[in-house]
Amino acid sequence: MKKIGFASDHAGYELKEFLVGYLDALGYDIYDFGCDSPERCDYPDFAHPLANAVVAKEIDMGIAICGSGIGMSMAVNRHAGVRGSLCWDVELAELTRQHNDSNVLVLPARFIDNTKAVQIVDKYLATAFEGGRHVERIAKIEDSD
Residue 29, SS3? Answer: strand
Q: Which of 81, 118, 85 is nearest to 102 (CA)?
A: 85
**Residue 38 near residue 8, CB atoms below 8 Å:** no
Of the candidates 10, 48, 79, 99, the residue annotated as catalytic is 99
Is 48 one of the catalytic residues? no
Q: Name the residues annotated as catalytic.
A: 99
